[in-house]
Chain A
Amino acid sequence: MNTVDARGMACPRPLILAKKALNGLAAGDTVQLLVDNETSKENVERFCRDNGVEVQVDRNGGVFTMTMKKLKKEAIDADEKAYCAPEPAKKPHVVVFRSDTMGNGPAELGQILMKAFVNTLKEVTPLPGHLVFYNSGVNLVTDGSSLIGPLSELEAMGIKILACGTCLDYFNCKGKLKVGAVSNMYTILETITNAGLVLTP
């Protein structure tokens, strides 16, 4: 197996060398690439993942040995420079609780579904960035809700909880908020606007 030394090089040079080495291989063959920085390692990994190359990385001090196995016989023609920039971070999603039930229908069914939904939230990744409660949704975060425990757990995990102040006021439960913070239309709308995705149970 050949080894290509790309230590001391900055992007896109390790990618150019990797592509050149890979295109000299038959399907099923492997080549090793040495890089000495995290960014190059990540960029090469992404380049491999997108172009039918299996890659295994071993770290020894500051040096990464990347063993790349070409799976397809076709030459790779992807642009190396496109893999130089880090992948844009995904914006976290926001879960909006529009009522205290999950879906519309019999209240007792919607309520039990909502409990199961909230109790499952922490198990599904990626985790949401915010939980927003408005209209009868605020019943879930106020005194008497059986979900204060699991919601506090989510809050402790770093998920921000916002409750609509107008709604708390309407239901006379401003002093009864048990988890999260009282919020307003500006913050709620900004939160939803900046969400990567909005989810509603």
Chain B
Amino acid sequence: MNKVIAVFESTRAAINAEKLCTKNAVPCQVIPVPRDISSECGIALEIGEGDRGTVEKIFGQEKLKVKFFIRENHV
């Protein structure tokens, strides 16, 4: 299954997003923003493709701005 990488506007937003995922029992992995998305240091969340709709809803309720990038699973 493909992975979805969620990138946020700020580190604080990423920290809040991770807390929201934990609170709502959505599995997520904290990763650095991949180099091809941004060369700046940043934190992103990797989530399962099937959870994208759920997190969009959760983040939307908290007015967290998020951009999604799809990674094809090569494993």
Report which A residues bind B (CB closer than 8 A): 108-109, 112-113, 115-116, 119-120, 146, 150
Contact = CB atoms under 8 A, between A and B. Distances in A.
Contacts of A150: 29
B22 A146 contact: yes
Contacts of A119: 29-31
A116 B15 contact: no
Contact of A109 (B15, B22, B29, B32): B15
Contacts of B14: 112
B12 to A, nearest CB: 9
Given A112-B14, A115-B30, A119-B29, 17 more contacts: A108-B15, A109-B11, A109-B15, A112-B15, A112-B30, A113-B43, A115-B18, A115-B29, A116-B30, A116-B31, A116-B43, A119-B30, A119-B31, A120-B31, A120-B32, A146-B22, A150-B29
A119 B43 CA distance: 11
Interface string B1-32: 00000000001001100100010000001111
A146 B29 CA distance: 9
11 contacts: A112-B11, A112-B15, A113-B43, A115-B18, A116-B30, A116-B31, A116-B32, A119-B30, A119-B31, A120-B31, A150-B29
Interface residues of B, number: 10
A115 B18 CA distance: 11
Interface in B40-57: 43
B31 A112 contact: no
B11 to A, nearest CB: 7
A115 B19 CA distance: 13
A156 to B, nearest CB: 13
A148 B15 CA distance: 19
Contacts of B30: 112, 115-116, 119
A35 B53 CA distance: 61
Contacts of A113: 43
A120 B43 CA distance: 11
B20 to A, nearest CB: 13
A113 B11 CA distance: 10
Task: Give the top 7 A-B pairs by smallest Cβ distance, nearest first.
Answer: A115-B30, A116-B30, A116-B32, A119-B31, A112-B15, A108-B15, A119-B29
A100 B11 CA distance: 19
Name which of B14, B22, B30 has the most chain A CB atoms within 10 A of its CB.
B30
Contacts of B22: 146
A116 B43 CA distance: 7
B32 to A, nearest CB: 5
